[in-house]
Amino acid sequence: MYSEKKNVLQLVALLKAHGITRIVLSPGSRNAPLTHSFATDTDFTCYSVVDERSAGFFALGIIQATGKPAAVCCTSGTAALNLGPAVAEAYYQQLPLLAVTADRPTAWIGQMDGQTIPQAGLFREITRRSVQLPEIGNEQDEWHCNRLINEAILSLNNGIKGPAHINIPLGEPLFGFNRETLPSVRVIRQSVQGYMIYKEDGYAQRFAGYSKRMIIVGQLPPDNGLTAPLDKLHRKPGVVVLAEQLSNIPVKETSTFDAALYAASEKESDALTPDLIITLGGHIVSKRLKQFLRSANIREHWHISPTGEVADTFQRVTDIVRSDNKTFLDYLAEISPESGTATAPSSSGAKDFRDIWEKACASVTKPDAAFSDLYAAGAFMQALPENISLHLGNSKSVRLAQLFDIPSSANVFCNRGTSGIEGSLSTAAGYAAASNRPTFLLIGDLSFFYDMNGLWNNHRGRNLHILLNNNAGGEIFGMLQGLDKSDALHGYIAAAHTTEAKGWAEQQGFLYLSARNAEELRRHLPRFMDVKSEKPVLLEVFTSMEKNAAQIQSYYHQQKNNNVFI
């Protein structure tokens, strides 16, 4: 029988799944749920060592003898401190020692209760990974706990071997041992770099064994060298490539995937669900895609991670592929359908997955909006000249831009690492100052005025063109369900204002243009887009928050009426 503590069950099950079955145990009550669960499971070889300092070094001896990771587990308080010398030795000898320290619930740290010291991050500077597990109260806690344990275990041999620390808070009652079996847990595997390793891990057979495969490309720099292998993969039967503009990968056939997902019925969503996901690059803008895949029945998710870092955006990661993007994509592109095995979990009888996706995306119409931010963004995107660099403000600007095509020669940038609004203008200004390339920025009013000092310097190039959508506030907040009913929305959350950019722009040497209707916008666009302009240009478009929200809602609702793809 195992402990009833869910974080204990996750830890025990994952240690077993990863093959860490030699455990050195020191006595104590706080770690009793762990001790009992290890000691009563015959798959584990347990060693009892009373002195924690000695226990840590005892575990190092096991590692030296077996060449495999071992764990040492102790109770809370100063017991955990006594593991320090062994953890330090493991760090400098590069030995895969896993230190597991039981702890009191976080709320009791520093409250003069027994054996409570700050244990989270206790060995942070001398471990490859140090994690604090949550006490599990819901599904998200369980996913988080599972991911953290996998990360700690993987760090034991993440190119360089070394120790890891798992601190596990356990609240009372501690001594409920009523679970007969361990839960089924998600095991995240990690490859080692190299073609031969990929073959040993069976990636060719696994890839070819699925008929519904999806490659999702996150944010990447321009000239990333991935267009050719992704194009080759995209032509394979049953392979879909989803790439937003920030990926700098041109994929026209499925570029409207966000709206297609909005339009899909439950049955159609099932047909759009992949068996295998492969992800690479940075952040994805589409919240709808994240929600779709987090709730979908995905069989495998491989994330290409050159550093081995675990990124689990869709909460479905099964494999961390340690490789640069191009090497692994080239490897997959060479795989023939015959590489699959008869026992691979393929989706027999499924329609061609790529055809279903392309038909779904083809049913999405381009926005045909009245004058609004949506209208202005469309006019801006469709008028962009070739061979330019496009910068996108965070929040609404980057989302509007995904609804339109852009020149394939454009280089696209956005500060999506943290998705904050504070530096979009400054980044575009810095890029324009260091580049001769025409630089265009689409930005909203809160982002612009927050960062207006980005124009307050002596390095303003005439190659900088800014389209400012000024709707007098943070209009995107009014589009969030529930928040639109808040009494604080207008004055505090959306920060409504009456500020205009004219005086500031002209003072900083910009050619200033403004548009309050579609006719004025059409009249100014040619001058705004002129890459031979003698001055930097700012075009301020004044719109209404209420009309903007209505146009966006109308556009997405229209897609449901157009949906005829399955």
Query: Do 141 and 204 lie in a common domain?
Result: no
* Percent of the chain at pLDDT exceeding 90: 75
Other Cβ atoms less than 10 A from the Cβ of 524: the count is 18
Query: Do 80 and 220 lie in a common domain?
Result: no
In a domain, 436, yes or no: yes
DSSP designation for 490:
I
Helix or strand run (H / E) with residue 241: strand 239-243
pLDDT at 474 over 90: no
How many whole angstroms separate alpha carbon 445 and alpha carbon 448?
A: 5
pLDDT at 174 over 80: yes
Helix or strand run (H / E) with residue 260: helix 257-263
pLDDT the model gives residue 341: 45
pLDDT the model gives residue 115: 80
| 419 φ/ψ sector (left φ>0, alpha ψ -120 to 50, else beta) | left
Label residue 349 by pLDDT band (50, 70, 90): very low
pLDDT the model gives residue 107: 84
Number of domains in the chain: 3
How many whole angstroms separate alpha carbon 69 and alpha carbon 72?
A: 10
Strands, E assignment, 402-526: 411-413, 439-444, 464-470, 511-515
| Beta strands across the sheet bearing 276-280 | 189-190, 319-321, 300-304, 276-280, 213-217, 239-243
pLDDT at 487 over 60: no
Best-predicted range by mean pLDDT (43-47, 156-160, 259-263, 308-312): 43-47
Show which of 301, 333, 362 is a domain's final residue.
Answer: 362
pLDDT at 344 over 50: no
Query: Do 410 and 526 lie in a common domain?
Result: yes
pLDDT the model gives residue 343: 41
State whether residue 536 is helix, strand or coil. Answer: coil
Other Cβ atoms less than 10 A from the Cβ of 409: the count is 12
Query: Do 341 and 464 lie in a common domain?
Result: no
Cβ contact 213:329 at 8 Å: no
Show which of 362, 386, 413 is a domain's final residue.
Answer: 362
| Joined tokens for residue 315 | 């909460």
In a domain, 220, yes or no: yes
In a domain, 562, yes or no: no
Query: Do 377 and 303 lie in a common domain?
Result: no
Show which of 178, 203, 224 is a domain's final residue.
Answer: 178
For residue 201, the domain's CATH number is: 3.40.50.1220
pLDDT tens digits along 18-63: 999 999 999 999 999 999 999 999 999 999 999 999 999 999 999 9
pLDDT the model gives residue 137: 94
In a domain, 109, yes or no: yes
| 498 φ/ψ sector (left φ>0, alpha ψ -120 to 50, else beta) | alpha
pLDDT at 342 over 60: no
pLDDT the model gives residue 337: 63
pLDDT the model gives residue 305: 93
Query: Do 381 and 519 lie in a common domain?
Result: yes
SS (H, E, C) 192-225: CCCHHHHHHCCHHHHHHCCCCEEEEECCCCCCCC
Residues 542-566: what's their mean pLDDT?
81
Residue of 189, 441, 133 lying closest to 303 (CA atoms):
189
In a domain, 210, yes or no: yes
Task: State which residues form the domain around 198.
Answer: 190-362
Residue of 536, 528, 534 lying closest to 507 (CA atoms):
536
Label residue 347 by pLDDT band (50, 70, 90): very low
Query: Do 293 and 272 lie in a common domain?
Result: yes
Residue that wins the pLDDT comparison between 351 and 376: 376
Query: Do 234 and 171 lie in a common domain?
Result: no
Residue that wins the pLDDT comparison between 483 and 210: 210
Query: Do 422 and 355 lie in a common domain?
Result: no
How many whole angstroms separate alpha carbon 437 and alpha carbon 90?
A: 52
In a domain, 540, yes or no: yes
pLDDT the model gives residue 550: 87
pLDDT at 116 over 80: yes
Which range among 50-54, 157-161, 164-168 shows the weakest confidence by mean pLDDT? 157-161
Q: What is the pTM of this model?
A: 0.87
Query: Do 201 and 289 lie in a common domain?
Result: yes
pLDDT the model gives residue 350: 58
Residues 364-375: what's their mean pLDDT?
92
pLDDT the model gives residue 557: 85
Residue that wins the pLDDT comparison between 52 and 395: 52
In a domain, 490, yes or no: yes
For residue 115, the domain's CATH number is: 3.40.50.970
Residues in the chain: 566
Label residue 154 by pLDDT band (50, 70, 90): very high
Query: Do 12 and 159 lie in a common domain?
Result: yes
Helix or strand run (H / E) with residue 55: helix 52-66
pLDDT tens digits along 95-114: 999 999 999 998 888 887 77
Helix, strand counts (H, E) of the chain: 21, 20
In a domain, 564, yes or no: no
pLDDT the model gives residue 393: 94
Helix or strand run (H / E) with residue 508: none
Query: Do 51 and 109 lie in a common domain?
Result: yes
Which range among 110-119, 166-175, 366-375 shows the weakest confidence by mean pLDDT? 110-119
pLDDT the model gives residue 348: 44
